[in-house]
Amino acid sequence: MVVYLVGAGPGDPDLITLKAVKVLKNADVVIYDRLANPEILEYAEKAKLIYVGKKAGEHYKTQDEINQILIDQGKKHEEVVRLKGGDPFVFGRGGEEMLALHQEGIPVEMVPGVTSAIGAPTSVGLPLTHRGVATSLTIVTGHEDPTKKERQVKWDFKADTLVILMGVGRLEENVKEIMKNRDPKTPVCVIENGTLADQRVITGTLEDVSKKDIKSPALIIVGHVVDIFKEIKPMKTQEVLNHERL
Amino acid sequence: MVVYLVGAGPGDPDLITLKAVKVLKNADVVIYDRLANPEILEYAEKAKLIYVGKKAGEHYKTQDEINQILIDQGKKHEEVVRLKGGDPFVFGRGGEEMLALHQEGIPVEMVPGVTSAIGAPTSVGLPLTHRGVATSLTIVTGHEDPTKKERQVKWDFKADTLVILMGVGRLEENVKEIMKNRDPKTPVCVIENGTLADQRVITGTLEDVSKKDIKSPALIIVGHVVDIFKEIKPMKTQEVLNHERL
């Protein structure tokens, strides 16, 4: 009896880890979200597949319902895999699932994955840290729980590079907050559908980025490391072929 | 002619990506650092192996020398792999190598990896973000370039969770700086040799962590997410068996 909480990586099915493939192959049950790439499920040769993904805006299953499914399946089967995009502990609510399973005495094993926050920029040649330019990076969600009374994110992060996940819906208001502490000319890079075939990369600045047509899911990178990315064009990669300027 | 800048992941050889394995199998040359796990080199079945690692404290090769080796090999061979621990763009100096190759007209492809900053905490069951506890995380190097006149890192990061890479050498002075902005009782977790068989996990607080015997390489995690990790003991994982309290 064990439940593996497994990161599926940023989207490209080749960016999954060997360990994730191994646990998928042995799984009796795989419980998965709307994944960046469903090809990954093909490794789960003998598993029953249970979809618990969320539709945009609304929950398909509540987190409590998902936790209960994990508990029920964990008690019934030898090897259960809970597959999540990116890394299960970077805005993946994996911590809540781990605690729920732990409270029921079900052993949990964690399998980290490449988070899209890092994997997508690295893939296109955008270094999140760079000597003399950025010695720190902050990863933050742009989409806070709307039921909270007070907004927890203050947007006055001091790190050189800022990476915003789920940042499209509130881009305009968040960028306004960021400009209270950063130059409006600070370069910004948006990566839509990172590491996938339909990836699109858009560059701009804090003051103009929210005027552009950007679609979810997208990652927003703020900081002078974006200038390094601009320097290296044209590269061989598919990603950079899809690059367009604001 | 292409040079792949490839992340080898945090240490556990099963935490490498499928893409990294594929490019290693086809490589004519592999240029590598002191890797967390040299088993990974076994995938490079037909490649010539060139070691350019750094010894503790001193550079074995300078970065300029490494760049020159990449350029020379890139010009001579069809497929060259530059293998780096973690992700090549998270304090890996991959950006400098990419630019050096680009300036010589050598195509570069990036292969992201699981950074130890995220992979090691996730593996032990320590969520870097958690609903109601942490909606942002900052990754920073504890070991700034000592030749710099002014210290660039100010340690007043506002993110809920702080992850310090290469943080052992200057732990005491950095922790003093962090305590100017955070409660000295803030929980801290140290992960030595993350994801490897000799991994050791130590918990404490900002005010007592620098008194402990901690050996490099180690990752330092600061923030209330550490309390969640403490809640889940005992887990099944090997890692948690090696957990000891301050």
Q: Which of A165-179, B122-136, B149-163, B177-191 shows the lowest per-residue confidence on average (mean pLDDT)? A: B149-163
CA-based nearest distance A51→chain B, Å: 22
The total number of residues shown for chain A amounts to 246
Question: In the prediction, which pLDDT does A154 show?
Answer: 80
For the segment B77-93, the average pLDDT, to the nearest whole number, is 95
Q: What is the pLDDT of residue A231?
A: 83
Residue A236 has pLDDT above 80, yes or no: no
Contacts of B121 in chain A (CB under 8 A): 89
Q: What percent of chain A has pLDDT over 70?
A: 88
Concatenated DSSP letters for chain B?
A: -EEEEEE-BSS-GGGSBHHHHHHHHH-SEEEE-S-S-GGGGGG-TT-EEEE----SSS-SS-HHHHHHHHHHHHHH-SEEEEEESB-TTSSS-HHHHHHHHHHTT--EEEE----HHHHHHHHHT--SSBTTTBSEEEEEESS--TT-SS---------SEEEEES-STTHHHHHHHHTTTS-TT-EEEEEETTTSTT-EEEEEETTTGGGS---SSEEEEESTHHHHHHHT-S-SSHHHHTEEE-
Determine the pLDDT at residue A152: 66
Q: Which of A15, A130, A141 has the CB atom closest to B95's CB atom? A: A130
How far away is chain A from the Cα of B150, in angstroms, using its nearest Cα?
12
Q: CB–CB of A159 and B154 under 8 A? A: no
Least confidently predicted of A133-137, A222-226, B146-150, B202-206: B146-150
Task: Quickly name the fold that domain A116-242 has.
Answer: 3.30.950
Q: Which residues of A touch B136 (CB under 8 A)?
A: 138-141, 153, 157
Query: Are A118 and B89 a contacting pair at CB < 8 A?
Result: yes
Q: Do B110 and A123 touch (CB under 8 A)?
A: yes
Interface touch A122/B16, C-beta < 8 Å: no
- pLDDT of residue A85 exceeding 90, the answer is yes
Closest Cα in chain A to B141: A135
pLDDT at B237 over 60: no
Percent of chain A residues topping a pLDDT of 90: 78
| CB pairs < 8 Å spanning A and B | 214
Interface probe with A: pick from B24, B67, B91, B199, most Cβ of A within 10 Å: B91
Chain B closest-CA separation from residue A107 CA (Å): 6
In A, minimum Cα distance to B148 occurs at: A132
pLDDT value of residue B33? 87
Q: Give domain limits for chain B.
A: 2-111, 116-242
pTM of the shown model:
0.92
C-alpha dihedral over B132, B137, B143, B148, to 10 degrees?
Answer: -120
Give the closest of A15, A93, A107 to B236, CB-based: A107
Q: What is the pLDDT of residue A55?
A: 65
pLDDT of residue B230: 87
The Cβ of residue B84 has, within 10 Å, a number of other Cβ atoms equal to 24
A34 or B206, which is more confident: B206
For an interface test with B, the pick among A59, A93, A114 (most B C-beta atoms closer than 10 Å) comes out as: A114
Asked if the domains B2-111 and B116-242 are classified in one and the same CATH topology, the answer is no
- The chain-wide mean pLDDT, for chain A, equals 89
Q: What is the mean pLDDT of residues A212-238?
A: 83
For residue B124, the chain A residues in CB contact (below 8 A) are 110
The whole-number pLDDT of residue B240 equals 40
Average pLDDT along chain B? 89
Closest residue of chain B to A133, computed from CA coordinates: B152
pLDDT, one tens digit per residue, over B164-186 is 999 999 999 999 999 999 999 99
A54 is catalytic: yes
- The minimum CA-CA distance between B43 and chain A, rounded to whole Å, is 13
Instruction: Write out pLDDT tens, residues B14-58.
Output: 999 999 999 999 999 999 988 778 899 999 999 999 999 866 566
CATH fourth-level superfamily of B2-111: Tetrapyrrole methylase, N-terminal domain (3.40.1010.10)
Q: Of A124, A135, A165, A228, which to mutate for an interface test with B (greatest number of B Cβ within 10 Å)?
A: A135
- CA-based nearest residue in chain A for residue B132: A152
A25 catalytic residue (yes or no): no
**Chain B residues touching A154 at Cβ < 8 A:** 158
